[in-house]
Structure 1
Amino acid sequence: MKISRQAQREAKQLFQACHVEGNLSNEKVRETVKLLMEKKPRDYVAVISHLHRLVKLDVQRRMVDVQSAVALSDSQQKQVKENLTKLYGNNLSYSFTENAELLGGMRVKVGSDVYDGSIRTRLTKLEESF
Structure 2
Amino acid sequence: MAAAPTKASQQLARQLFALSLVNGLVAPAQVEGVLAYLEKHPPAQPLQVLQAYRRLVARELAKGEIVVEHAGPIGEGILRGLEGAFTQKYKRQVTARGVHNASLIAGLRLRIGDDVYEASIANQLAQLSAA
With normalisation by structure 1, the TM-score equals: 0.78
Q: 1: distance between equivalents of 2:124 and 2:69?
A: 16
Equivalent AA in structure 1 for residue 87 of structure 2: T
Matched, 1:95 2:97: yes
Q: Residue 61 of structure 1 contacts residue 111 of structure 1 at CA under 8 Å; is this kept in 2?
A: yes
1:119: which partner in 2? 121
RMSD: 2.3
Q: CA deviation at 1:19?
A: 0.9
Q: Residue 71 of structure 1 contacts residue 97 of structure 1 at CA under 8 Å; is this kept in 2?
A: no
Percent identity over paired residues: 23
Equivalent AA in structure 2 for residue 83 of structure 1: A
Q: CA deviation at 1:84?
A: 1.6
1:48: which partner in 2? 50
Q: 1: distance between equivalents of 2:103 and 2:4?
A: 41
Which sections of structure 1, spanning at least 5 residues, go unmatched?
Answer: none
Higher-Rg structure is 1
With normalisation by structure 2, the TM-score equals: 0.78
Q: Residue 69 of structure 2 contacts residue 110 of structure 2 at CA under 8 Å; is this kept in 1?
A: yes
Match of 2:72 among 70, 74, 90: 70
1:126 alignment partner, SS class: helix
Q: CA deviation at 1:36?
A: 1.6
Q: CA deviation at 1:44?
A: 5.3
Q: 2: distance between equivalents of 1:102 and 1:67?
A: 8
**Over 6 Å off, 4+ runs:** none
Give the total of aligned pairs: 128
Q: CA deviation at 1:107?
A: 1.0
